[in-house]
Amino acid sequence: MKNTPMIDRYRWWEMVFIYLGIAVFLTFILSPFVEGFLVSLKPLSQLFSSPYRFFPENASFEAYRTMWISVPGFARYIFNSFFISIVVTVIVLCLVVPASYAFAKFEFPGMGILLGAFLTVNMFSGAVLLIPLFRLMRSMGVLNTYFAMIVPGVAFLIPSAIWLLRTYMIRIPQELNEAAYADGASHFYTLRRVILPIAMPGIIVVAITTFIGAYAQQFIFALTFNSKSEYMPLPVGLFAYFGKQEVIWNELMAASFVGIAPAMVIIFFLQRYLVGGLTAGAVKQ
């Protein structure tokens, strides 16, 4: 407390008010996770009994074992989610890195309109375009394959990736390009050897946000364009726990936690990049 500036010192009742406020806020954010975790520890019979009990009796991790047995394909769903997200991220990066470099470093006629057009794409969700996309996927012969989820997934992640990376690349000093040209470097050489190494942290941020976007938002395309269970990603695969009679809630929750663990690990280690990267594109420079 000694080095805290005077302006940041709180009286006791201010502290109480702030912690109370944070507690209320985080309760809203986290209660589904807490409840979901407790559900995963309860035996099914206890879940379906009244009156409601918040804390489990005889808590056990049994559901984390049985979930693999009742839905044998679950490991496959996690793999599919990862596979789809990684391929999507790689394709997005290949398309977006050159494009955002062009937007950041070159002036050309129609640039403003094109950038606006990319932003507009961001605003049309896949849901509006499902019918023609369905027909397009059918005529390309990729319905019920990984590509049915990868191809549209990429398109809707491109705009925000361009926007983010462009703001990052604008900050790279123009003198670097000019120095490279003066030394006789070609455009491609400059991009590959001068710009890319400097832009790496920005590219990593874009890769992370794209991966999370792909991992989190695979639902509608997977629901509509794929009906083969061997290609299902996690969000759709979880419906396997919805039995004919009842939902196996404890296993569904256990499976959800197993499924989100990788994403949680990622944000835990990369949170600094994430918060910075998220807001860099949003707050005006």
Partner 1 sequence: MGVQRSNIIFAWILLLPAVLYVAVIVAYPLVETFILSFTDASLRKVTNWVGWINYEKIFNATFAEVIIRTFIWTFFSVALKMIIGTFGAAMLNTAVPGRSLFRLLTMPPWVVPMAIGIFMWGWMYNGQFGMISGMLQRLGLVDGPVAFLAYGGTAFWATIITDVWIGVPLVTIYFLAAIQSIPKDLYEAAWTDGAGRFYRFRRITLPLMVPSIITMSMLSLIATFNSFDIIWILTQGGPSGQTTTMIIDTYQTAIGSKKYGEGAARAVLICIFLSAFCFAYFRVTRRLNPEKRA
Chain residues 256-285 in contact with partner 1, contact rule CB under 8 A: 256, 259-260, 263-264, 266-268, 271, 274-275, 278-279, 282-284
Tell me the C-alpha distance between 41 and 251, whole Å: 9
Tally of residues, the chain:
285
Touching partner 1, residues 112-131 (CB under 8 A) = 112, 114-116, 118-121, 123-125, 127-131
Least spacing, CB of residue 158 vs partner 1, in Å: 6
Q: Which residues pair with 247 in a beta bridge?
A: 242
* Amino acid residing at 215: Y
Q: Among 63, 88, 148, 151, which residue interacts with partner 1 (rule: CB under 8 A)?
A: 151
Tell me the C-alpha distance between 273 and 140, whole Å: 38
Q: Among 187, 192, 193, 228, which residue interacts with partner 1 (rule: CB under 8 A)?
A: 187
Return the axis-axis angle of helices 196-216 and 74-105, rounded to nearest 10°.
Answer: 140
* Residue among 33 and 68 whose Cβ is closer to partner 1: 33
Can you spell out the DSSP letters for 141-195?
Answer: T-TTSHHHHHHHHHHHHHHHHHHHHHHHHHTS-HHHHHHHHHTT--HHHIIIIII
Per-residue binder mask for partner 1 (CB under 8 A), 226-245, x = binder: --------xxx-x-------
What residues have CB less than 8 Å from 152, skipping those under 6 apart? Answer: 126, 133, 137, 221, 225
* Residue among 107 and 244 whose Cβ is closer to partner 1: 107
Interface with partner 1, residue 26, by CB under 8 A: yes
Touching partner 1, residues 58-87 (CB under 8 A) = 81
Touching partner 1, residues 94-113 (CB under 8 A) = 94-96, 98-99, 101-103, 106-109, 111-112
Return the axis-axis angle of helices 196-216 and 249-282, rounded to nearest 10°.
Answer: 140
Q: How many residues bind partner 1 (CB under 8 A)?
A: 107
* Residue among 109 and 197 whose Cβ is closer to partner 1: 109
Interface with partner 1, residue 132, by CB under 8 A: yes
HSE-CB of 64 using CA atoms within 13 angstroms? 12
Least spacing, CB of residue 72 vs partner 1, in Å: 20
Least spacing, CB of residue 65 vs partner 1, in Å: 20
Q: Which residues pair with 69 in a beta bridge?
A: none
Interface with partner 1, residue 254, by CB under 8 A: no
